[in-house]
Amino acid sequence: MDPLDAFSPDHDTARARFREAATAAGWTLSTLPLTATGPGGEPLGIDVAWKGAEQPRRAVVVSSGTHGVEGYFGSAVQLSLLEGPWSAVEPPAGDALVMLHAINPYGFAWNRRVNEDNVDLNRNFLLRGQAFAGVDDGYVRLEGLLNPPSPPGGFEAFLLRAVWQIARTGFGALKAAVAVGQYEFPKGLFYGGSGPTESQRLLGDALPRWFGATERVLHLDLHTGMGAWGTCALAVAEDEDSDRVGWLASRFDGVEGLSEAGVLYPIRGALGAWLQEQVPTCTYLCMLAEYGTHPPIKVLAALRGENRAAHWGHAQAPSTLAAKAAMLEAFAPADPGWRRSVVGSALALAEQALATLDDPSPPEQP
């Protein structure tokens, strides 16, 4: 299948195609149902496609849509796998392949990065004992600029110039302050929530059932929106010099731990460490595959505009529709070259992940 054809026009279509392809390829389907509904009132859920042992010794997981709208890309990768290289795949005896379609189905369905509670899921997976509280001083200083309480439009150009000035005086610092996650502004960008989201609760319930007796899980979580156009950054939310990062780095080119100098900087409440916490006897390695799209200031502008429209705009207002379109372009660019290249790259990554099922010597969990 041409990767271009794997991109769906909306979440509902993507979901139907995923389910159909998984069934046709002989995978077992189940759903973790969400309470929130889609724009047409349709039910939403995290679809789970499973191939191989029910209680696997080792597993490879490929997930999409942790950041809602980024699911256009992740879903295209999953569909391409199911209709292409994994249409007749058999994991080694005792192992399993698992796909999680749309970890944040609401955000995917509504073209938002966040969920039904304006929560950025990848800031919500705090570990036991960590508080849903706090905000960086830098974020507080920029709050009025990032989250104006009005629909998009009007003085946009002025405000963007202001953001650009700040970016020029220290983009790394800005990125760290803004995107690390905040727990004080519920209508703001990069809000981590006031407690576990429904997606988190659903996964927290399922993981011990799925992987409570599993030795090792390698999880690829597919993202877009950060880094240079079409490039892939592979990051693990762990110390750069840990054995676990070393194990991955010897099997995947360019794996990095999170660092302030990298494409992917340290954030609070990231998915990876939380997954490991749910299944402590399993070595659970979660690698974030992040594909770059437009320059960071353009992506931030899209996030800011869409967030304003979601909270302060009218659903059918031209400014809201423009903000939604900008959001889609920021996280799933229409450019055919970009689409073909990133899907091709992610398919290769999934194949490398599959190959690790035959690979001995897993690193120990922390």
Residue 96 or 270: which CB sits closer to Zn ion? 270
Which residues touch 332 (CB under 8 Å, ≥6 apart)? Answer: 7, 69, 70, 72, 73, 224, 293, 339
Residue 270 or 279: which CB sits closer to Zn ion? 270
Report yes or no: 254 and 263 within 8 Å, Cβ to Cβ: no
Structure tokens belonging to residue 75: 């879903």
Three-state DSSP class for residue 116: coil
Residue 123 or 216: which CB sits closer to Zn ion? 123
Q: Helices 156-179 and 296-312: crossing angle, nearest 10°?
A: 100
Task: Give the whole-angstrom CA distance, residue 232 versus residue 243.
Answer: 22
CB of 91 to Zn ion, least distance (A): 27
Using CB under 5 A as the criterion, which residues of the chain lie in contact with Zn ion when the complex forms?
Answer: 67, 70, 223
CB of 131 to Zn ion, least distance (A): 23
CB of 87 to Zn ion, least distance (A): 27
CB of 254 to Zn ion, least distance (A): 18
Structure tokens belonging to residue 101: 């379609």
CB of 326 to Zn ion, least distance (A): 17
How is residue 70 annotated by DSSP? G
DSSP track, 207-272:
HHHHHTT-SEEEEEEEEEEEEEET-EEEEESS-TTSHHHHHHHTTSTTEEE--TTSSS---SS-HH
CB of 271 to Zn ion, least distance (A): 10
Report yes or no: 265 and 175 within 8 Å, Cβ to Cβ: yes
Residue 47 or 70: which CB sits closer to Zn ion? 70
Three-state DSSP class for residue 97: strand
Residue 238 or 290: which CB sits closer to Zn ion? 290
Residue 95 or 221: which CB sits closer to Zn ion? 221
